[in-house]
Structure 1
Amino acid sequence: MTRESSASPLIYGGGAQSPRAALPVLPPLALYIHIPWCVRKCPYCDFNSHTASPMLPEEEYVDALLADLDQDLHAVYGRKLSSIFFGGGTPSLFSAEALGRLLKGVEQRIPFASDIEITLEANPGTFEQEKFVAYRALGINRLSIGIQSFQEEKLKALGRIHNGDEAVRAAGMARQAGFDNFNLDLMHGLPDQSLDDALSDLRQAIALKPTHLSWYQLTLEPNTVFWNQPPVLPEDDTLWDIQEAGQALLAEHGYAQYEVSAYAQPGRPARHNLNYWSFGDFIGIGAGAHGKLSHPDGRIVRTWKTRLPKDYLNPAKSFKAGEKALTNDELPFDFLMNALRLTDGVESRLYPERTGLSLESLAEGRREAEQSGLLQVEPSRLAATERGQLFLNDLLQTFLS
């Protein structure tokens, strides 16, 4: 049944808008869990992370996470969890006991799919072999390790607490702990980085044989130390050379690019992130966590939670900081902002299925984007051209009302 079927009740978001069909079939459901503490805040980081005290409030925070989840259970609608992602901060600062109690509490509330993907972010400086064996025993089956670089001077410039040798050992320890599926996070375009420097880092990462690589350019974000005290970054020509040579190197070693900065071995893309980019649903719990939830009546709501850990842990304050129901005018941009990051885009049918809007509502922007050479002329898919990937902001502008 298509979402624009006349048999479906129609939703109006206010104002002069096209009717939107209700959603008789809801998207897959995932869970994002934010653990906001780090050993030290990195100067480039604009995530909601906070320097950890010597004693983390693990027990109190797990209690809060489960109470937070309880308030979102109304939006589950009988679905199972397809994936869980522990993000941060540095989730690997938490003990296996705390994460075990949390996972048990989550599963008591929402059933897990039989093939659920459960990812934990970790930094090399927090790797302990015994701890990671215990994580694997809990059912956590994927790691995402924040390497960023293997070179001492680059790590120092980035404010990282690990060194290159620890980064190399972390990958080996992950495999020894039973993780046959893990990602390495690697940056390029670092302060004073040359093409040779960048490719050296990438070759070292490939040699460790991760199943997935997140390889992305350092950007200077507001409200960071680097924003206020900018380092000297490579020239644009060098950045372009790094991008081209790096992508060729990754392809040569069997890492297919499936998203702007994501590369995976066959069959190993990050399922949790694919759910984001294909406009699936996700509950977000934890300090500052965001969520996106669809309802059978057609409402699609983005939520965000109280940002500061001390406020999140304060019983007198609400977990939820705010929520917004997406209007018909906002949905095209919101959907495409995610879907067009994927190198192959998404099947066109996903647009009406996950927004309740007809494909015809995209027709004008689609024609303009195709004529500009930014969108592939492919009726069955919504996918950017190579040029569109390079100028994604320009492509998205064509779909703004």
Structure 2
Amino acid sequence: MPWFARKPQIEVVDEAPVEEPRLPEPPATDAAGLRSVADHTEYLLSLVEPLRPFGMSLLEAWDQVMCEDIDSMVNVPANSTAKIAGYAVRASDLVDDGQLAAPLTLVDGGVDRLPASGAVVVAPGDALPAGATAVLPATFATLTDGKVALIEKVADGEYVRAAGEHLRRGTRLLSAGDILGDRAIGLLAGAGVDKVLVRPRPRVVIVSSGDRRVEPGGEMQPGDGADANSFMIAAAARAAGATVFRVAVHSNDVDEIRQTVTDQLIRADLVISATGGRREDYEAMASVMEEIGLVDTVAVAMSPGRTQTFGLVGEDRVPMLMLPGNPVSAYVTFQAFGRPLIRRLMGATTEHRSARAIATGTLRSVKGQLHLLRGHVRSEGSIRYVEQVSMPHALGELAASNTLIVLDEHLEVVRPGEAVRVWLLDEED
């Protein structure tokens, strides 16, 4: 008998290494290391899912995307009504063996169903009693001692506005994907619909950061800059259909920025960073994004807005878009990528409001890059004309523009009189 029992051998199984989470494989870049705008847009949209729909009252659901087909629940009008003053009758009671029938009996207007050979006095718009098939105009008969003597006859349906003539029960009113506008709300309300299934407005948090940023109305010191970008982007996000919250961290302190961003994630469907224009401002926010999320930073074949940073941050992987610090670059980047992301969350179309316009001056670009020039569109009849807006004051240039002129990668020059594609920025254009 052995003095010591031999311990059983425990088989050691090598555990597979745990893969670090990362973003899906990004699109390829060209020989110059640039990603195309189309590829970058498609990639970002692939990382974001539309918000889950829920039921809302009509007014709460205004300007949101329908997630169901809606059919009328009622007839409009609900009952057959008289078009003119006269008598509700059965047309078959007016003829007897090819001749005008004997006088009809006048019946009280509160009767539920019209009796045979009866008539009820009606005014225009009055509901007809059940059984009535026509309205006999007052001039087609005489009334004596409760008897309606016939002068002329009418056929079934004459002088009657039939139930459901304007809108029949079961008629399709709106379809999934439609935007619920003000007139559509009236249509639904008139058809007896009080609630609809829609996607909620995306909650977009605009985070302003950067050293020496001053709120509008604040006291400016030498070297300070007004915090204009975050206000401009917040307004643009609201115009795109989002519910917007704006917070500011006027600092490049990484800990403070991290705390501010993570605090906002609980109420954010999308975070948009609007930093100051200094390199340090951008790098501080970029380091926070890399620390708390999965980040894609790439050079895009676009001007302005070449450097693009996007991430899925926090435990819930909330999408976050980082804008350049230059006001023009920030606004153009928002229109190119931020607005489509908001529309994606809404479940709405992500395409830009594109149109063709005739250039009034020479427009130049660099082949291989998509250029988005600031422009002003005017209409003369059915034709749009566009001119480039160029000003030394970046915010003034944006304020004077109502479109972005799109010069595709293959374009180097557009001459006066040639057509060019534009993205319309204002609804009335």
TM-based fold match above 0.5: no
TM-score w.r.t. length of structure 1: 0.24
> Which has the greater radius of gyration?
2
Higher RCO (CA < 8 A, seq sep 6+): 1
More helix by share: 1
TM-score w.r.t. length of structure 2: 0.23
